[in-house]
Structure 1
Amino acid sequence: MTIKECYEKIGSNYESVLSRFGNEALVKRFALKFLKDPSYAELKEALEARDAERAFRAAHTLKGVCLNLGFDRLYETSAALTEDLRRRDINDSDRLFPELTVRYEQLTEAIRELEAEA
């Protein structure tokens, strides 16, 4: 799988990311680094602990990383969750976190496929 195919698989705009990063090697390098980003795990832990402040920070960080890397679908969901958590009301997170989890798992699965073929 190429990095372009990976972006197509996850429903993201590869050309947009490529234009920001400048070359395919950088896009691939940073996409692979996403697998080590702790934001999702921190968000999950914070939500389980019902810690609204920490959950907001983690969701906001995840949103920014996704925006920078062009992970459009996960960005959309993490942005919506960030806005829900901005009020520090953790109760609304229950409706968006399952969708965010599905999108996160789809994304990381595609990146792992890319990594395996590298």
Structure 2
Amino acid sequence: MDLNTILTLQEAGVDTEGAVRRFSGNSGLYERFLNKFLSDPTFGMVSDAFAAGDEQKALTATHTFKGLTANLGLTKLYDISSEMVNLIRGGDYGAAAGTFPDLKTAYDEICGILEKGFL
């Protein structure tokens, strides 16, 4: 991954430095995990659960996605998914579902950056 991609990720709210620290300073390993994020099925599970209106599956999938994004330093995605998990747990599934478009927009932005960076 080149410097421009790293800077673009940082501008999009990605904590690349903190994530590399979580990967024991191994930036190559972090890059491989970011590349795998593009094909990770978790976001699809979140999307499917909300499309089906399945509150329990939405909670489980969104919680899993939250953890994935936290580990990768995808702060914007983490913040939105964390809010969604809190809303569902607080009994406001409707508000969580209403936040899903924000999550999708942020997800598409990050994936677009990663796709360009790994070409």
1:44 to 25, 29, 47: 47
Between the aligned residues of both structures, percent identity stands at 31
CA deviation profile, 1:6-51 (whole Å, cap 9, x unmatched): 5324222221111221221011000011011111111111111110
Query: Does residue 11 of the first structure (1) align with residue 17 of the second (2)?
Result: no
The whole-number CA distance in structure 2 between the counterparts of 1:36 and 1:80 is 24
Say if 1:107 and 1:6 are closer, same or farther in 2 by CA, change over 3 A.
same
1:113 equivalent to 2:116? Answer yes
Equivalent residues of 1:53, 1:88 under 8 A apart = no
TM-score (structure 1 length as normaliser): 0.89
1:39-90 deviation per Cα after TM superposition (whole angstroms, max 9, x unaligned): 1111111111110000000100000000000000110001001111224542
TM-score by length of 2: 0.88
Q: Report matched runs for 1:1-118 at 5 Å.
A: 2=2, 4-21=6-23, 22-87=25-90, 89-116=92-119
Deviation >3 Å, runs of 4+? none
- Structure 1 gaps of 5+ residues are none
